Amino acid sequence: MQGFISEIFSSFQGEGGSVRGSCQGRRQIFIRFAGCNLAQAGKPCVWCDSPQAQAGGCPSANIETSAGRGVFKDAENPLEVDALLKVVEELRSPDLHSLSLTGGEPLLQAGFIEAFCLETVDQIYLETNGTLPKAAKKIADHVDYACVDLKDETALPYSGWQRVLESELETARILTDAGAAVFAKIVITQGTNVETIAGVAEKLAELGVPLAIQPVTTTDSAVKIGREKLFKLSEAAAQYLSADDITLSFQSHKQIGIL
């Protein structure tokens, strides 16, 4: 079984806040899969922070040579499962918590992920856009932690947002039912509607899934959302979710200058 990888490196999880399922602050090996179904449709979400991973079938993977060094080498794609296992061993550190499967959209390569998970003993953290619930079901039993990235209306440059949200919530349900610790993350802008966050929170409460509200940041990691808006959005979520199930999430890895 083979998979197309954009990059692999060791770092600390920078997102997720303090809710159940989050691994923020944990040491992980990040396996960034190449290709995104939203990008393949020609309509990627506006706030994607990994545009280099949007295209599938990239000829080579960028692989860190030693954990945390930030020095990379190229490896020819696609990678075999055994080759990926070898990279993980080379990047293993004594504080390793889990493997982060991210993208792009990792669930586009669910068959490869399933084959890999059958061979690794490490905990799996899945970060997914949630729009491929059938693929999620295929690997759900192998996932320990999951972040389902809900798309706010301001992040998608096309109609059909409600259908996208329904798919994302179904993926969260599938992963939760399989026993994974799941949280939802939604990237917000100054234009995010209070009603949207309240509606999302209501549906998440039905699933027992907490919510991380993540302000969009600029290329210099500045937050461009007023504090009043942040308070209103958090309070809107609290109409349905408990305070324990609501958090703010910031891209802390960017703020301290690491991958």
Domain boundaries, the chain: 2-185
Cβ distance 95 to 115 under 8 Å?
no
Specify the pLDDT at position 50: 76
With vertex at residue 47, the alpha carbon angle to CA 257 and CA 70, rounded to the nearest 5 degrees, is 25
Whole-angstrom CA distances from 183 to 13, 48, 59, 195 are 14, 19, 33, 20
Phi/psi at 163 (nearest 5 deg)?
-65, -40
Asked if 28 and 99 count as a contact pair (C-beta separation under 8 A), the reply is yes
Q: What angle separates helix 81-91 from helix 110-117, to the nearest 10 degrees?
A: 60
Residue with tokens 């949207």: 196
Measured distance CA(109)–CA(115) in Å, rounded: 10
Residue type at 225?
I
What is the CB neighbour count within 10 angstroms for residue 160?
A: 9
Mean pLDDT of the chain: 92
Q: What is the pLDDT of residue 168?
A: 97
pLDDT at 219 (0 to 100): 61
Q: How far apart are CA 25 and CA 12, in angstroms?
A: 6
Q: 2-185 sits in which CATH class?
A: alpha beta
Chain centre to alpha carbon of residue 164? 16
Residue 54 pLDDT: 77
Of 125, 95, 130, which Cα lies nearest the Cα of 113? 125
Which residue is it, tokens 């209501």?
202
User: Is the dihedral angle over the CA atoms 138, 140, 143, 145 positive or is it negative?
Assistant: positive
DSSP codes joined into one string, 20-84: TT--TT-EEEEEEES--HHHHTT---TT-S-GGGSSSS-SEEEEESSTTT--EEEEESSEEHHHH
| pTM across the whole model | 0.94
Q: What is the pLDDT of residue 196?
A: 96
- Whole-angstrom distance, CA of residue 29 vs CA of residue 149: 19
Q: Which H helix or E strand runs over 98? A: strand 96-102
pLDDT of residue 255: 65
Per the document, the length of the chain is 259
Helices and strands: H and E segment counts in the chain: 8, 12
Strand 72-76 and strand 5-12: the pairing is: unpaired
Helix (H) or strand (E) holding 167: helix 161-177
pLDDT given for residue 155 in this prediction = 80
Positions in the chain whose pLDDT score sits under 70:
40-43, 47, 53, 158, 218-222, 253-256, 258-259
pLDDT at position 240: 98
